[in-house]
Amino acid sequence: MLQKERNLADKSKSKYVRTALIQIKRFKRENPDSSDWLEFIIWFNNRKAELCHSTWRNYKASIAYYLKSQDEHDLAYKVETLSNDGTLHKSDKTTSIKKKSLTISEVEKIRESLKGMVNSSNSDTGKHLLAFFECIFAIGNRPTEIPSIIYYEYCPEEFEGLPPVLRITNGKATNGRSFDEFRYIGISELPEKTRLLIKYAVAIANNPVDPQGNPTSYDEFYTLLSRKYGAFIKSIFPKKKQLITLYTSRHQCIANMKNAGYSLAEIALVVGHGNDVTASEHYGKKRYGVKVKLPKHNPKDLPKIKLVYSNKVLKLNKNKTLKVKQ
């Protein structure tokens, strides 16, 4: 099925072009004697088996957009009509077997094991995994949002609170599932080591390289990093049936905020939800929260959150009160 034409923002256009050029450079590096577009498309299609479905579709869209920008519409059509079948398979049951919380002992074991990896290996893998783990655990961001983070040592006018402040491009803003394009969170109470690791994670995400040290797309970099994290988790928790992923840290951060007394609207501001019901229904439970230093929401943005859950509870309580009076 052909992808529907979309009105792309300038930022999305730039990202598409950047992603396409990285693929083209990789093709030229692996095939230095070829400059034929049809050979490139065949090469790209053969890469399908090593890419997850979402990454494959993103690359397809990026390459097709780039070809159209070069007036190569016939070639773009060939790319758009490439089948999506044959990408890396993900079980339909993965959501149910993914762990949505971390115990204190699990956090400590992950942290200490990653530190041990950093100290015992010449590879950057340990450093990258530690930075991403600590970043997501501390501020509850989506992994895909890390390249968009801007770190302010001062307090920008959009934020009400103390510095340092992070500006994060909301990952779900374009499809209406977030409250705005950006969110601002305060990290003044986070430990200095954690703030440094957040800075390091952002630097890595904005200059991603493959295992050979060549520039690559963030999607490809993160796909490989998440696999390495999965292998690392299996090595330290070989008997666990539920999967601990980097996204588990986002769930745990939300559980920690619930446990600390944050309202659902305040949590939405920190993690980029558009309403107060998402964290209630789909994320970490309050009982699994632990006491840690937490990020601060931006009070200026509170009116932007849709109070779906709160209004529902308010209505139910009002009905109960009326019944009691009757």
pLDDT at 2: 41
One domain for residues 281 and 138: yes
One domain for residues 164 and 269: yes
One domain for residues 214 and 119: yes
User: For the segment 9-31, what is each residue's pLDDT rounded down to a tens digit?
Assistant: 676 788 899 999 999 998 888 88
One domain for residues 67 and 201: no
Provide the percentage of residues in the chain whose pLDDT is more than 70: 86
Provide the percentage of residues in the chain whose pLDDT is more than 90: 64
Indicate the number of domains in the chain: 2
The domain in which residue 228 lies consists of 94-308
State the chain's mean pLDDT as an integer.
Answer: 87
The residue among 21, 55, 80 that closes a domain is: 80
* Domain assignment of residue 324, yes or no: no
* Domain assignment of residue 320, yes or no: no
* Domain assignment of residue 226, yes or no: yes
Give the pLDDT band of residue 326 (cuts 50, 70, 90): low
Q: CA-CA-CA-CA torsion for 152, 168, 101, 121, nearest 10 degrees?
A: -60
The CATH number assigned to the domain holding 100 equals 1.10.443.10
pLDDT beyond 70 at 315: no
One domain for residues 36 and 73: yes
pLDDT beyond 60 at 245: yes
* Domain assignment of residue 323, yes or no: no
* Domain assignment of residue 66, yes or no: yes
pLDDT at 283: 75
* Domain assignment of residue 87, yes or no: no
One domain for residues 34 and 162: no
d(CA 214, CA 234): 28
pLDDT at 281: 66
Of 16-30, 48-62, 82-96, least confident by mean pLDDT is: 82-96
One domain for residues 47 and 109: no
45-50: average pLDDT: 87
One domain for residues 76 and 192: no
Give the pLDDT band of residue 229 (cuts 50, 70, 90): very high
Q: What is the CA radius of gyration of the chain?
A: 22
One domain for residues 140 and 262: yes
Of 102-116, 125-139, 187-201, 266-280, least confident by mean pLDDT is: 266-280
User: For the segment 96-128, what is each residue's pLDDT rounded down to a tens digit?
Assistant: 478 889 999 999 999 999 999 999 988 899 999
One domain for residues 117 and 263: yes
d(CA 301, CA 60): 36
One domain for residues 145 and 38: no
* Domain assignment of residue 5, yes or no: no
174-195: average pLDDT: 88
The residue among 19, 48, 80 that closes a domain is: 80
The residue among 80, 110, 132 that closes a domain is: 80
d(CA 186, CA 248): 22
* Domain assignment of residue 282, yes or no: yes
Which is more confident, 163 or 276?
Answer: 163
One domain for residues 98 and 57: no
